[in-house]
Amino acid sequence: MKTMPRRRRFAIATVSLLLGYAIWLPCVHLLFAPRGDDRADRARRLLAGQLRLWVDPALRAREVERMRVANNEWDFMGRTFLVWSLADLSLRDPSTKTQNLEVMDRIIGETLGAERANGPHFFLMSYSRASEFRVQPPRSLFLDGEVALMLGMRRLVAERADWKPLLADRVRVMEERMRKSAVLCAESYPNECWIFCNAAALAAMRFSDFLDGTDHRSFFGEWLAAARGRLIDPTTGLLFSSFTLDGQANDGPEGSSIWFACHCLKLVDEPFAEDQYRRAKVELARGGLGFAWAREWPKTWVSPMDVDSGPVIPFVGASAGSSGTAFVAASSFEDEAYWKGLLTSLDFAGFPIRDGDALRYAASNQVGDAVLLYSMVLGPVWKKVGAP
């Protein structure tokens, strides 16, 4: 080699390096790809980590404080996604029902108590106080929809008579407030409606129909007509993520909203939900070399990073918030290849930590791990309730 001209040695070294990369890069994902069908074991470990937070008050206090410093909503959503996970787990394995119900009741009871004691702003970001809600008295559909879903899922697992009127009241109030909007959507923040929250509210209404014999089919039809007419981005065909009460878009299609909305809308109109999922995959899903991730926004809609999107990785546009909720949509629509690609990326970049029998991700937090757990176990509840 020393007798070769420098230019030739450089060329050989460059070619060798490129060949090495060509062999190595396509194999990297194999180090992080899920081994066989280990979803049940991962779910068990994630659940153990989640339950530890509800057994150890000091540990829970630290985690809640860490989340609330960034976003009060995460404290609330960590509760809801865990309750929803426990409902699906109870149907998957009835032997766990008694233990799961105890945890569900504790979380729901504590959440309702915190809401009563602190008012509607306690689980909202600080800008909820910056102006007045247009529809009075002040209420957030973000809270009402997800609380109603918790109540509905808990009652689906086992009836609890004292919570039946609580679900009925939430559903009644949600419909009344949604009907005061030109697009049949209620506020999560002052004059700010979110498709994430309105889809959750519609799913909760479907639970009311299934459990209590109410009938929201006409309202669902009206809502879908309004959504198709006023809330669809004409470029992508995706639902806007946030908008005013009169239907003026604040934000375009957003991954951290649309993925979860697709899941909820399966209980309202499955073909519409499937169409939205297919469009979201085209606009937001990305992958390569065995990895997968999700963008927060389509290329045709430029928006700044916010607390929902989380950190966005430059060049590839991978969003923590969008990729997290993409797990839920991929599982809901049985897109196993995309779900496994997302999990491969998470194991590569999320730094999984195994502590005894528990699993958590260093790059995540309690709500992120709860969302992942939900994506691993969802299915039985939605299948039982079904679309109208």
Looking at the domain assignment, is residue 11 inside a domain?
no
| DSSP structural state of residue 294 | E
Q: Mind listing the pLDDT tens digit for each residue in 209-238?
A: 999 999 999 999 999 999 999 999 999 999
Looking at the domain assignment, is residue 173 inside a domain?
yes
Query: Which residues, at least 6 apart from 134, have a Cβ–Cβ distance to it below 8 Å?
Result: 187, 190, 191, 245
**Where does the pLDDT of residue 123 fall: very low under 50, low under 70, confident under 90, or very high at 90 and above?**
very high
Separation between Cα atoms, residue 68 and residue 118, nearest integer Å: 15
Looking at the domain assignment, is residue 18 inside a domain?
no
Range scoring the smallest mean pLDDT among 1-10, 128-137, 162-171, 338-347: 1-10
**Where does the pLDDT of residue 350 fall: very low under 50, low under 70, confident under 90, or very high at 90 and above?**
confident
Q: Mind listing the pLDDT tens digit for each residue in 307-327?
A: 555 566 665 677 888 999 999
3-state secondary structure of 335: coil
- Average pLDDT of the chain, as a whole number: 89
Query: Which residues, at least 6 apart from 185, have a Cβ–Cβ distance to it below 8 Å?
Result: 141, 178, 193, 195, 198, 223, 226, 231, 243, 245
Q: Mind listing the pLDDT tens digit for each residue in 91-108?
A: 999 999 999 999 999 999
Task: Identify the H or E element spanning 355.
Answer: strand 352-355
pLDDT above 70 as % of the chain = 87
Averaged pLDDT for residues 10-27: 54
3-state secondary structure of 237: coil
Residue 155, domain extent: 44-385
Looking at the domain assignment, is residue 9 inside a domain?
no
**Where does the pLDDT of residue 378 fall: very low under 50, low under 70, confident under 90, or very high at 90 and above?**
very high
Whole-number pLDDT of residue 61: 85
- Residue with the bigger pLDDT between 6 and 134: it is 134
Whole-number pLDDT of residue 28: 43
Whether 65 has a pLDDT exceeding 90, the answer reads: no
Separation between Cα atoms, residue 55 and residue 61, nearest integer Å: 11
CA distances from 149 to 55, 98, 154, 167 (A): 24, 20, 8, 8
CA distances from 295 to 191, 234, 254, 265, 281 (A): 26, 19, 8, 21, 10
H helix intervals, 213-269: 217-230, 255-265
Looking at the domain assignment, is residue 25 inside a domain?
no
Looking at the domain assignment, is residue 21 inside a domain?
no
Whole-number pLDDT of residue 174: 98
Task: Give me the torsion for CA of 246, 248, 250, 254, rounded to 10°.
Answer: 100
Q: CATH number for the domain including 62?
A: 1.50.10.10
Do residues 294 and 259 lie in contact, with contact meaning Cβ atoms separated by under 8 Å? yes
CA atoms within 13 A on the CB side of 96: 14
Whether 335 has a pLDDT exceeding 50, the answer reads: yes
Looking at the domain assignment, is residue 285 inside a domain?
yes
Looking at the domain assignment, is residue 372 inside a domain?
yes
Total structural domains within the chain: 1
